[in-house]
Structure 1
Amino acid sequence: MSAQGDCEFLVKKARELVNQDPWAAKAWLITARTLYPTDFNIQYEMYTIERNAERTASAGRLLYDMFLNFPDQPVVWHEISVITSALRTDCQDKQTQFLRGLFETLPGRIQCEMLLKATEQCFNTLEKAEMLLLLLRRFPETVVKHGVKLGESLLDAENMDNQESPVNCFRKLFVCDVLPLIVNNHDVRLHSNLLYKYLNKAAEFYISYVTKSPAAEAQHPGTQDASDLKSPCKRSSQKYIIDGLTEKSSQIVDPWERLFEMLSIVGIRCDWQPDKGARSFADILHRMKDLSRYLSSFDNENHVKYKNQVVYSTMLVFFKNAVQYVNSIQPSLVHGSSTSSQASLVLLEDLSNVFDDVDIDRNKHIHKKRKLAESREKTMSSDDEEVSGKGRNRQVLVNKVDLPNSSEVLESFKLARESWELLHSQETLEKEFSRICVAWKTDTWLWLRLFLTDMIIYQGQYKKAITSLHHLAALQGSQQQVSSPGSLEQHRALIQMASCHFAMGEYRLACEKVLDVICYMVPPAQESTKTQDDMPKMKTKFRKGSDLKLLPCTNKAVMPYCLQLMLACFKLRAFTDSRDDLALGHVIVLLQHDWPKGENLFLKAVDKVCQQGNFQYENFFNYVTNIDMLEEMAYLRTQDGGKIHLELLPNQGMLIKTSSPPLGLLQQEFIPVLQASIQTADRHHTVTRGITKGVKEDFRLAMERQVSRCGENLMVVLQRFCLNEKIILLQGLV
């Protein structure tokens, strides 16, 4: 029998005995190995028996022998691949733990050599990088030789693969795993330019990661499974290339904390000025403002060093706070946003004083139905005077219900604005920051454009803001970053454009944008009308002088704002010295909203009608359903009311003469006033009674019909007014 045949016989005999008498099987293999020490099959069979029996120490010794004596055998590298996969995975099953224990029995030198040679067996960039990373973690002394080389190979692979986003598997492995090993090892000599390059790559990755929107992730349905990311031995070369990191096991914990830790380490290695215990973002920003004042006094080397300190420190404070602000006002744009049902918010000019500016003599025209309580004549408090002075900062109002953490959000908005201003305060800072932004393609970041737009609005640069809003809308459309079709989020740019046009005094354009938005709205449900006595007393501090407000992007919040903005557009035109009945009529219609807040302004309108002696507004009966307003207008026709000539009737053929439904108590009180109005008109027109009788009858029928409409949903009525009268409304603002 040949030697090969003898070996096969001994191995076969051992296999037959392994289940019945494992010790006998082992004896057969020891004998075989003694006789044939260079035969691989005998040693592999011995290893298999020990591994299956989970005898860690003996299996480790046999693997060690095979690795030294048979390094070219494919099955040996298969075993090593299985073991290294177990070392890289987070799995804690029994088999994985056994394989890890087996590897630990090997001498450190052999472990290092085995991992190095295993790396050489890999032909896929990611698999090779993960294997080498395992070596660097277990043997830190190898970082000096292999760390930078590994990092550069990952960045080169990213470039060669033409990754569209910095959030990819190559960059993640470099930033999250390799880079910390490099920068924390002081034996690795790194030039400052290389450190800035790595900090730049890390910042771009982390910022893109935390702001990667769900919609953008959905555009890459071929994203790799998380288990494949953890186990390279299971992956094919085609499955290595991914565009996003969306799986739970690939989520990064505390990305901002990691980024600022990297900033601190780079600062130490580049010999930046120490932070002196500065921990908060406000502290960092304050120190960078101080340092920036002295940049011009440094020599060239220190100027470059401290310029980079100011730029990178301020830039990260800016992005961190800008992201937090956007995450709070429009969560749908940000990857790490809350899953709550909180509506997005939109920054607009504050119109809370739209009902102010009333200067009338109440003694000229008093009616018992509209006497105001003494308490309401003193709504201006000392609190208002405290904030009405010149030179104060602009205030941003927000309801705690809409934004529970409003203080933190507004502080983030403030810090981000101040950071932006610092980065643009000097040419050398602005040039470096712009260079970074161009490389990162920040002009395609929708969330950043939203923040910059709000910042520009806050600064009062309204023309620039409108340009930015057009850019925002175009960017939103190109990236399909919108909510459901027709939603207000989709049209938030229109709302802000209207607000900006109004702030610039361009009332027609403001009204045009508002009317475009109202087309997409669903009127909110009718709310019970509150009398003035039932209205809760509200402290007016910051109310009169506040300039901006964050408003929920909902029908319930935006439609009232749109009506207030239209009222503000027509108010000045209606109350000028020249007569404009059309504008005055529009104001009366719009004042119905949020009644009785606009009661004082309505009294001013009534006063102007009395001064004119007549009033013409043919849309009155189409859209005015407020019982108090109807009563006042009817009272104006009486002797006591001044016998005012009112032309409120539309085309008489359009009047609908239908039986009225049962009247409420308030409506019933109005009937005597209406009758008195008709009777007074009859007494003073006896000469032309036959000619005017029809007109009086039509007025009475129209008033009765309006009384029956007082229960209609006012928002539906006002939306119909905006849509049906769009052309007239816009023509009135030319």
Structure 2
Amino acid sequence: MDWMFDEVEKKAAEDIYSARSWLLVTKCIFPRNFRVLFEAYKLEKSEMNASQCASLIVEMFRSFPDEYLLNKELELMVIPPPGDKDSQQFLSSIFDSLQPDMQQNILMYTAGRQIDINSRCKLTLTAMRKIPRDTMKYGIPLTEKLLECEKIEAPSTALNKYRKLLVCDVIPVICECTAVELSHKQYYKWLQKAIEFFVAVHTSPRKLLTEAIGKSSIKWTDLEALRAKIGMQCSWEPYSEKNLPLVDRMKFIKDMHRLSRTDVSGNINKRQIFYTSLLLLLESSIEFSKLLDPAFCDSVPGNASHIIYLQPFNNNEPGSTPVSLSSLKESLHDCFQVARTSWSILQTNESFSKDFNHLVKRWKMERWAWFQLLMSLRDIFEKDYKACVLRLNRLLEQNRIDHYPHVNIRCLTILATVYYTTNQKALSCRCIIECLTKLKSNQLLQNMHHSRIDSIVFSDTSDVNPMILMPLNQSNLLPSWIFIFVTSLMQNVQSSACTDETLGHILVLSQHGWPQWKEVCGNILDIVSRKTAFSYPIFFDYIVVGDILEEISLLWNSNEKKTITLHRGTFASQQRVTRGVNKGTEEEFNNMITTQMNTGESGLEDLLVEFILKQESSLMDCLLAADGAGPMET
């Protein structure tokens, strides 16, 4: 036989027809021999004879499907390697010369031999597209195989290559086939899998995303396209046009939900309302979070990070609206309204609520910080402050290790203003102190420290203090925090619990934004002037505003006899001051005032933050001391 093949090879170089004759003789002598057929295939391949190659492929595949050389050739045909384009093109022409049934058989046979799940999936999908009537035959086992692999290799996350193949490749092909007969329940299960995967994709850090599914662009429009395909299989009413924005899709489903309440004939598909509302809720919530902070899913906050929280005071002063924030507000407002409306629809009846709560538990949505933060804002809009506090405290407990420090900053900032609004002043101030501690101690948050930019009212509610949108940094948040501290401490001023420490702390804090708190400062100084003794030994550590220093200087140098302690250390800690007496002490005091005047107010913000953190214990004692205290004795 080897001699005959040698002759074929010699003849091929001289006369192809002679070579074919020799092969025909060889085949007659050895009628059921794979090598004869494969040599004939090689000969026709060298002559670029696609139709003859296809005939030989069919003959070999039917008689010798397990031969290594044949399987290697089949793989080259259906999984062309990168490289020689001419060779790839010719192999494709051989495959195209086969009958569709044979193409499908070869594809499925080759797919079954693949260890790599991506290759197996790709070949099976190609076979399903070749002959759609066999979609059920091959598609359903493929979905089961992918779910089985996911259960074994990635049981705790939807972010894996098996789920990606299932959601982005397999299910869409199955849904495109009108011959497929599946229950609506099965389609809804797949839609749940798809929604969970898309949420994971859009809320995972970039590095984790690349490691799990590789570099790929997976957009919300892909999920919407899949929703439409599933909807077609489940007799859903389609949108009026493709690629509708969030607001228009929400209007469509809101109108459908309204009509469903009076639909006694059952013509409106309530499952369409449920799943579309669920999708809109999650998509709008994620887009809302991305608008607030493009890097919200990473451990490091982005440079363009913003925050929305309940402003503790009602600011009606007119002012220009920053253009960038105005544009951002509009986009945020749309997303927020879609999320609120979707949530409301999902809570309208027992069936929706039951199904939604089931998914909440299964997907562990209580651990989705981005979602819980948005829901806390919804709670505030609904004035459900109790739910907001429970939600945020639970989130803080889950995030106590500080993997995502900016989540803690957001939680504490919102909690501080909610506690203040519900008259829990000490808890409010405790949140502020904790927030400042995290800002100061975490290097990742240093980029959030400065850049004072005007805020913009996010809500249009007139009967409560407004929700405020602003860049997330210490400089922007400090005015609200100082307001909470000052007004909370001022409640103690007319009580028997009022101490010199309380008065002194108010003086220090009232320096912020001077002369904003000038009237408050004046009231405190009036109270001090009526006292026979006043002690605040850290006065010169933190008072730098000239107007306050001048008033204290006048009080010190007045004719009245008072015991005033304003400093500590190497100097005398307490002085009995009478005009014209103890001249050395007066000079010492005036020199200290002059030194403070020269210090200036340039670093006042950092000084006040240092004060709050260092005097934490004293501040909290002053806030808590008023509990149960009566009016101040005169």
1:516 and 1:555 map into 2 onto residues whose CA distance is 13
Who is 1:101 aligned against?
A: 93
Mapping 1:189-268, distance limit 5 Å: 189-214=181-206, 216-217=208-209, 223=211, 244-245=212-213, 247-248=214-215, 251-254=216-219, 256-268=220-232
Decide which of 134, 145, 158 is 2:126's aligned counterpart: 134
Q: Work out whether 1:433 is the aligned partner of 2:398.
A: no
Decide which of 277, 299, 303 is 1:342's aligned counterpart: 303
Who is 2:76 aligned against?
A: 82
2:379 and 2:195 map into 1 onto residues whose CA distance is 25
- Distance change >3 Å, CA 542–CA 145, structure 1 → 2: closer
Mapping 1:286-325, distance limit 5 Å: 286-293=251-258, 295=260, 298=263, 302=266, 306-325=269-288
| Contact 2:285–2:335 (Cα < 8 Å) also in 1 | yes
Q: Work out whether 1:625 is the aligned partner of 2:590.
A: no
- Distance change >3 Å, CA 452–CA 92, structure 1 → 2: farther
1:543 and 1:316 map into 2 onto residues whose CA distance is 28
| Contact 2:307–2:410 (Cα < 8 Å) also in 1 | yes
Compute the TM-score of the two structures, normalised by the length of structure 2: 0.82
| Contact 1:501–1:509 (Cα < 8 Å) also in 2 | yes
Mapping 1:119-130, distance limit 5 Å: 119-121=111-113, 127-130=119-122
| Contact 1:521–1:559 (Cα < 8 Å) also in 2 | no
Q: Work out whether 1:509 is the aligned partner of 2:427.
A: yes
Q: Work out whether 1:647 is the aligned partner of 2:611.
A: no
Q: CA deviation at 1:294?
A: 5.6
Q: CA deviation at 1:638?
A: 6.8
Q: CA deviation at 1:477?
A: 4.8
Count of equivalent residues:
611
2:203 and 2:47 map into 1 onto residues whose CA distance is 50
Q: CA RMSD for the aligned pairs?
A: 4.3
Q: Which amino acid aligns with 2:513?
A: D
Mapping 1:440-519, distance limit 5 Å: 440-477=363-400, 481-482=403-404, 490-519=408-437
Q: Which amino acid aligns with 2:310?
A: E
Q: CA deviation at 1:410?
A: 2.6
* Worse-superposed segment, 159-168 or 508-517: 159-168
1:474 and 1:571 map into 2 onto residues whose CA distance is 32
| Contact 1:214–1:333 (Cα < 8 Å) also in 2 | no
Q: How high is the sequence identity, in percent, across the aligned residues?
A: 21
| Contact 2:199–2:282 (Cα < 8 Å) also in 1 | yes
Q: Deviations over 1:374-410 (max 9, x none)?
A: xxxxxx76x69xxxxxxxxxxxx99665796332023
Who is 1:731 aligned against?
A: 621
Q: Deviations over 1:76-121 (max 9, x none)?
A: 12211221112xx798944433322332233334323322433454
Q: CA deviation at 1:733?
A: 0.5
Q: CA deviation at 1:693?
A: 3.8
Mapping 1:53-68, distance limit 5 Å: 56-68=50-62
- Distance change >3 Å, CA 398–CA 645, structure 1 → 2: farther
Q: Which amino acid aligns with 1:331?
A: P
Q: Work out whether 1:710 is the aligned partner of 2:629.
A: no
Q: CA deviation at 1:700?
A: 1.7
Decide which of 135, 143, 155 is 2:135's aligned counterpart: 143
* Worse-superposed segment, 270-279 or 190-199: 270-279
SS of aligned partner of 2:156? coil
Q: Which amino acid aligns with 1:347?
A: I
1:350 and 1:634 map into 2 onto residues whose CA distance is 36
1:275 and 1:539 map into 2 onto residues whose CA distance is 34
Who is 1:281 aligned against?
A: 246
Q: CA deviation at 1:720?
A: 2.9
Q: CA deviation at 1:632?
A: 3.4
2:328 and 2:395 map into 1 onto residues whose CA distance is 26
- Distance change >3 Å, CA 28–CA 270, structure 1 → 2: closer
1:638 and 1:588 map into 2 onto residues whose CA distance is 19
| Contact 1:10–1:29 (Cα < 8 Å) also in 2 | no
1:431 and 1:187 map into 2 onto residues whose CA distance is 33
Q: Deviations over 1:655-699 (max 9, x none)?
A: 79xxxxxxxxxxxxxxxxxxxxxxxx99x846xx3xx44543343
| Contact 1:291–1:310 (Cα < 8 Å) also in 2 | yes
Decide which of 24, 28, 45 is 1:33's aligned counterpart: 24
Who is 1:412 aligned against?
A: 335
1:180 and 1:283 map into 2 onto residues whose CA distance is 24
Q: Which amino acid aligns with 2:277?
A: T
Q: CA deviation at 1:416?
A: 0.7
SS of aligned partner of 2:179? coil
Q: Deviations over 1:302-344 (max 9, x none)?
A: 39x6331221111111001001111222433438x9x994343
1:68 and 1:652 map into 2 onto residues whose CA distance is 100
| Contact 2:293–2:306 (Cα < 8 Å) also in 1 | yes
SS of aligned partner of 2:307? strand
2:503 and 2:240 map into 1 onto residues whose CA distance is 63
| Contact 1:292–1:310 (Cα < 8 Å) also in 2 | yes
Q: Work out whether 1:589 is the aligned partner of 2:508.
A: yes
| Contact 1:175–1:201 (Cα < 8 Å) also in 2 | yes
Who is 2:591 aligned against?
A: 701
1:540 and 1:193 map into 2 onto residues whose CA distance is 41
1:711 and 1:571 map into 2 onto residues whose CA distance is 24
Q: CA deviation at 1:276?
A: 5.1
Who is 1:237 aligned against?
A: none
Q: CA deviation at 1:622?
A: 1.9
Who is 1:270 aligned against?
A: 234
- Distance change >3 Å, CA 416–CA 636, structure 1 → 2: same
Higher relative contact order (Cα pairs below 8 Å, separated by 6+ residues): 1
Q: Which amino acid aligns with 2:423?
A: G
Mapping 1:597-676, distance limit 5 Å: 597-606=516-525, 616-636=535-555, 647=564, 649-651=566-568, 653-654=570-571
SS of aligned partner of 2:309? strand
2:458 and 2:520 map into 1 onto residues whose CA distance is 19
SS of aligned partner of 1:271? coil
Q: CA deviation at 1:626?
A: 1.2
Who is 2:179 aligned against?
A: 187
| Contact 1:511–1:566 (Cα < 8 Å) also in 2 | yes
SS of aligned partner of 1:302? coil
SS of aligned partner of 1:493? helix
Who is 1:178 aligned against?
A: 170
* Worse-superposed segment, 142-151 or 48-57: 48-57
Q: Work out whether 1:44 is the aligned partner of 2:38.
A: yes
Who is 2:629 aligned against?
A: none
SS of aligned partner of 1:188? coil
2:619 and 2:571 map into 1 onto residues whose CA distance is 21
| Contact 2:458–2:469 (Cα < 8 Å) also in 1 | no
| Contact 2:228–2:238 (Cα < 8 Å) also in 1 | no
| Contact 1:330–1:345 (Cα < 8 Å) also in 2 | yes
Q: Deviations over 1:193-231 (max 9, x none)?
A: 22222222222222222223346558xxxx5xxxxxxxx
